[in-house]
C-alpha cells in the first residue's frame, strides 16, 4: 500500500514539474558563462587565500566551520596546483558552454568548486553554494537537446522527470527560506537596504540614488522578504511559474544595479532560465530504479536541511544526516543578508622606502573617502574585510600574514616595510593624515628572502 502511494505520488510530481528542453539548453550555456566569470575572480584570489604562503595555510587552525569535506584544493599548498584547478574549472565551463560531454563537465565543475569552497570557507558565500547545487541537479537533466555540438534539434519538448522536481524544488526552497531567514528587525522596519546602500563597499550609484528616497527605499525593503516567499511558492505551481520567474529576475536585476554582489545575480538569473515554461510535447526521461531512490533521498534531505534553519531544536536528528549533505555538498543555509548588515570600516596598507610612504592596498582610494565616487576596485578587499573580523589569536596571525604577503608581492620594489591600518567608517582621509591610528601589523620586507 505504501509502495503504491509512493509510486502515485512520484507520477504526480513528474507530471506537475516538467522543464522545457530549450530552457535547459539555454541554462547550460548561461551556467558555462557564469562559471567562466567566477573562475576569473578565483584567479585573483589564488595566492592570497588558497596557498600555504597566503592567509590560509592548510596547517593552520581556523575558527569557523567547514561546510564541505576537504577536496582537491587541499592536496597541495602550491599556487601552481591551484592554477591547474582553476584551468580545469574553466575548461569544464567552456565544455558546458558548447554542450560537449555535459555530465562530465557538470561533475568536473561541481567537484572543483566544492574543493575551493572547502579550502577557504571564509570566502564561500551564497554564489558558491548556489552554483554547486544547480550543477548537482543539472547532472540528471538533458542539457544538450539544443544549441550544442552535434545536436540540431529545433523542436522544444517538455522533459518529465523526478530530477526536474529536484531543480525546481531547490530554487523554490532557496527563495522561500531566504525570505523566512530575513529575521533582522531592520527588514521589518524598512531600514535594512538603507544601511546596506550607505556602506561604500556594497553600494553602486543606483543604491546611492535610492538613498535620496527613504520612503520608497523602506517600501522596497519590506517587500523583498515577502516577495521572495511568494515567488518561491509560485514556482511550485506550474501555471504561475513564469510569473514567479519574472518577479525573481526583476529582484536579481535590481540588486545587481544597486549593490556590488559580484556574480551572485548572474547565477540567480542563470538558474531561472532553466525553469522557463515553453509549450511542447512531453519527453519522459527514463531513469533507473536506484537513481530514482537516490533523487528521492536528496529531495527529502534538502527539504529537511532548509526546515532545520527555522526549527533547529525540533530537527536535531538531522545532525545524523550531516555527513550525507556534506559528502554531496547538498547542505545549505540561506542567511545572506538575513541577520545583519555587513558594515564596518576599511583597511589601508602602505609601504615605506627611504622614509616615504606609498599606498599599496586600500578600499576605497584614500583620497575618495566619504565621496560619492566610492568604488570597491580590488577584488580580495571585500573578502579580506570578512576575514579580518575573526577572533584573536587567529585575527592577529591573519594581519601579519597579509603584510608579509604584500612584502612578497612587491619584493622587486625594495620596500623596507609594510604597515597595515584599520580605519573606522566615520574616518575621513584628513582625519587619517592628521592623527594616524597605530598600525595593526608591520612587516619588514628587507628581511624577506
Q: pLDDT band at 406, cuts 50/70/90?
A: confident
Cβ contacts of 331 within 8 Å, gap of 6 or more: 67, 68, 305, 322, 325
**What pLDDT is attached to residue 8?**
55
**What pLDDT is attached to residue 371?**
36
Residue that finishes a domain, picked among 262, 297, 328: 328
Which domain range does residue 138 map to? 2-328
157 contacts 280 by C-beta, under 8 angstroms: yes
401 contacts 55 by C-beta, under 8 angstroms: yes
Tally of domains within the chain? 2
CA angle 161, 133, 136 (to 5 degrees): 50
Q: pLDDT band at 193, cuts 50/70/90?
A: confident
Residue 417 has pLDDT above 50, yes or no: yes
Whether residue 227 is contained in a domain is answered as: yes
Neighbours of 12 (CB within 10 A): 10
CA dist list (Å): 205 to 120, 200, 223, 366, 387: 31, 10, 21, 19, 26
The continuous run of DSSP H or E covering 326 comes out as: helix 322-328
Neighbours of 141 (CB within 10 A): 23
Cβ contacts of 205 within 8 Å, gap of 6 or more: none
**What pLDDT is attached to residue 116?**
93
**What pLDDT is attached to residue 49?**
83
312 contacts 318 by C-beta, under 8 angstroms: no
| Residue 420, all three cell numbers | 597595515
Q: pLDDT band at 107, cuts 50/70/90?
A: very high
Residue that finishes a domain, picked among 265, 296, 328: 328
CA dist list (Å): 322 to 116, 148, 319, 329, 382: 20, 37, 5, 10, 30
**What pLDDT is attached to residue 298?**
94
pLDDT tens digits, 25-64: 999 999 999 999 999 988 888 888 898 877 778 877 665 5
Cα-only R_g, the chain: 24
**What pLDDT is attached to residue 404?**
83
Whether residue 194 is contained in a domain is answered as: yes
Residue 168: phi, psi to the nearest 5?
-60, -45
pLDDT tens digits, 197-216: 876 556 788 888 898 899 99
- Do residues 63 and 157 both lie within one domain? yes
What average pLDDT does this structure show over 207-236? Answer: 92
**What pLDDT is attached to residue 366?**
47
**What pLDDT is attached to residue 282?**
87
125 contacts 174 by C-beta, under 8 angstroms: no
Question: Which long-range contacts link 296-304 to residues 24+ away (Cβ below 8 Å)?
Answer: 296/10, 296/162, 297/324, 298/136, 298/166, 298/328, 298/330, 299/162, 299/165, 299/166, 299/169, 301/325, 301/330, 302/169, 302/170, 302/173, 302/330, 302/332, 303/169, 303/173
Q: Please report, rounded to a whole number, the percentage of residues in the chain having pLDDT higher than 70.
A: 78
CA dist list (Å): 145 to 18, 24, 60, 125, 289: 15, 8, 47, 32, 24
**What pLDDT is attached to residue 2?**
53
Of 160, 153, 161, nearest to 281 (Cα)? 160
d(CA 410, CA 157): 57
**What pLDDT is attached to residue 369?**
43
Q: What is the DSSP letter of 424?
A: E
**What pLDDT is attached to residue 318?**
61
**What pLDDT is attached to residue 372?**
35
Cβ contacts of 237 within 8 Å, gap of 6 or more: 244
- Do residues 349 and 323 both lie within one domain? no
**What pLDDT is attached to residue 73?**
92
Residue 320 has pLDDT above 60, yes or no: yes
Q: Taking all residues of the chain, what is their mean pLDDT, rounded to a whole number? A: 81
- Do residues 31 and 160 both lie within one domain? yes
Residue 275 has pLDDT above 70, yes or no: yes
| Residue 47, all three cell numbers | 595566492
**Which of 184-188, 253-257, 402-406 has maximum average pLDDT?**
253-257
- Do residues 240 and 115 both lie within one domain? yes
**What pLDDT is attached to residue 317?**
53
Look at strands 345-353 and 417-424 and give their pairing: antiparallel
Looking up cell 509502495 gives 3
- Do residues 200 and 312 both lie within one domain? yes
Q: What is the DSSP letter of 121?
A: G
| Residue 271, all three cell numbers | 538558474
Look at strands 345-353 and 356-362 and give their pairing: antiparallel
- Do residues 224 and 107 both lie within one domain? yes
pLDDT tens digits, 330-366: 988 786 655 454 445 667 788 888 888 887 755 444 4
Per the model's pLDDT, the better-predicted residue between 124 and 186 turns out to be 186
Of 37, 53, 51, nearest to 120 (Cα)? 51
- Do residues 180 and 241 both lie within one domain? yes
Q: pLDDT band at 447, cuts 50/70/90?
A: low
**What pLDDT is attached to residue 127?**
81
370: left (phi over 0), alpha (psi -120 to 50) or beta: left
DSSP string, 144-200: -SSSBTTB---S--EEE-HHHHHHHHHHHHHHHHHHHT--SHHHHTT-HHHHHHTST
**What pLDDT is attached to residue 198?**
72
101: left (phi over 0), alpha (psi -120 to 50) or beta: left
337: left (phi over 0), alpha (psi -120 to 50) or beta: left
Of 179, 180, 178, 215, nearest to 194 (Cα)? 215
166 contacts 147 by C-beta, under 8 angstroms: no
Whether residue 337 is contained in a domain is answered as: no
Whether residue 335 is contained in a domain is answered as: no
Residue that finishes a domain, picked among 293, 328, 363: 328
Of 322, 335, 333, 383, nearest to 69 (Cα)? 322
The continuous run of DSSP H or E covering 360 comes out as: strand 356-362
Q: Which of 31-35, 387-391, 429-433, 444-448 has the lowest mean pLDDT?
A: 387-391
What average pLDDT does this structure show over 406-419? Answer: 85
- Do residues 253 and 305 both lie within one domain? yes
- Do residues 349 and 324 both lie within one domain? no
Cβ contacts of 433 within 8 Å, gap of 6 or more: none
- Do residues 85 and 217 both lie within one domain? yes
pLDDT tens digits, 122-175: 777 678 889 999 999 999 999 988 988 877 667 889 999 999 999 999 999 999
Per the model's pLDDT, the better-predicted residue between 122 and 325 turns out to be 325
Whether residue 338 is contained in a domain is answered as: no
Q: pLDDT band at 90, cuts 50/70/90?
A: very high
pLDDT tens digits, 7-25: 555 555 666 789 999 999 9
**What pLDDT is attached to residue 14?**
62
Q: pLDDT band at 272, cuts 50/70/90?
A: very high
Residue 176 has pLDDT above 60, yes or no: yes
**What pLDDT is attached to residue 78?**
92
- Do residues 98 and 27 both lie within one domain? yes
What average pLDDT does this structure show over 174-195? Answer: 87
Using DSSP's 3-state secondary structure scheme, residue 26 falls into: helix
Query: The pTM is what?
Result: 0.84
- Do residues 98 and 66 both lie within one domain? yes
- In sequence order, what are the beta bridge partners of 299? none
Amino acid at each position: 500500500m505504501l509502495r503504491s502511494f509512493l509510486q502515485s505520488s512520484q507520477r504526480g510530481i513528474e507530471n506537475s514539474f516538467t522543464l522545457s528542453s530549450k530552457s535547459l539548453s539555454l541554462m547550460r550555456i548561461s551556467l558555462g558563462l557564469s562559471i567562466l566569470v567566477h573562475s576569473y575572480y578565483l584567479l585573483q584570489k589564488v595566492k592570497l587565500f588558497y596557498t600555504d604562503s597566503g592567509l590560509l595555510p592548510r596547517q593552520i587552525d581556523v575558527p569557523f566551520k567547514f561546510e564541505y569535506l576537504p577536496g582537491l584544493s587541499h592536496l597541495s599548498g602550491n599556487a601552481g596546483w591551484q592554477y591547474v584547478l582553476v584551468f580545469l574549472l574553466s575548461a569544464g565551463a567552456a565544455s558546458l558552454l558548447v554542450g560537449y560531454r555535459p555530465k562530465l563537465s557538470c561533475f568536473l565543475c561541481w567537484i572543483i568548486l566544492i574543493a575551493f569552497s572547502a579550502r577557504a570557507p571564509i570566502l564561500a558565500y551564497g554564489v558558491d553554494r548556489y552554483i554547486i547545487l544547480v550543477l548537482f541537479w543539472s547532472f540528471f537533466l538533458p542539457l544538450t537537446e539544443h544549441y550544442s555540438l552535434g545536436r540540431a534539434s529545433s523542436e522544444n519538448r517538455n522533459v518529465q522527470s523526478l530530477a526536474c522536481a529536484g531543480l525546481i524544488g531547490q530554487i523554490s526552497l532557496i527563495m522561500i527560506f531566504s525570505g523566512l531567514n530575513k529575521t533582522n528587525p531592520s527588514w521589518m522596519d524598512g531600514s535594512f537596504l538603507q544601511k546596506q546602500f550607505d556602506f561604500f563597499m556594497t553600494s553602486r550609484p543606483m543604491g546611492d540614488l535610492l538613498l535620496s528616497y527613504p520612503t520608497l527605499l523602506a517600501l522596497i525593503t519590506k517587500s523583498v522578504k515577502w516577495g521572495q516567499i511568494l515567488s518561491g511558492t509560485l514556482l511550485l505551481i506550474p501555471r504561475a511559474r513564469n510569473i514567479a520567474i519574472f518577479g525573481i529576475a526583476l529582484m536579481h536585476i535590481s540588486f545587481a544595479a544597486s549593490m556590488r554582489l559580484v556574480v551572485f545575480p548572474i547565477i540567480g538569473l542563470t538558474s531561472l532560465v532553466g525553469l522557463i515554461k515553453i509549450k511542447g510535447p512531453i519527453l519522459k526521461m527514463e531513469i533507473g530504479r536506484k537513481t530514482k531512490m537516490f533523487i528521492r533521498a536528496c529531495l527529502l534531505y534538502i527539504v529537511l536541511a532548509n526546515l532545520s534553519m527555522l526549527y533547529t531544536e525540533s530537527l536535531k536528528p538531522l545532525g545524523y544526516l550531516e555527513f550525507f549533505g556534506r559528502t554531496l555538498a547538498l547542505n545549505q543555509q540561506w542567511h545572506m543578508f538575513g541577520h545583519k548588515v555587513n558594515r564596518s570600516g576599511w583597511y589601508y596598507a602602505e609601504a615605506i622606502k627611504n622614509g616615504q610612504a606609498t599606498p599599496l592596498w586600500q578600499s576605497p582610494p584614500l583620497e575618495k573617502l566619504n565621496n560619492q565616487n566610492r568604488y570597491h576596485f580590488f577584488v580580495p578587499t571585500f573578502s579580506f574585510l570578512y576575514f579580518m573580523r575573526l577572533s584573536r589569536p587567529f585575527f592577529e596571525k591573519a594581519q601579519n600574514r597579509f603584510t608579509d604577503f604584500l612584502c612578497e608581492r612587491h619584493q622587486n620594489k625594495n620596500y623596507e616595510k609594510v604597515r597595515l591600518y584599520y580605519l573606522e567608517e566615520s574616518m575621513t582621509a584628513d582625519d587619517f593624515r592628521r592623527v594616524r591610528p597605530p598600525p595593526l601589523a608591520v612587516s619588514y620586507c628587507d628581511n624577506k628572502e
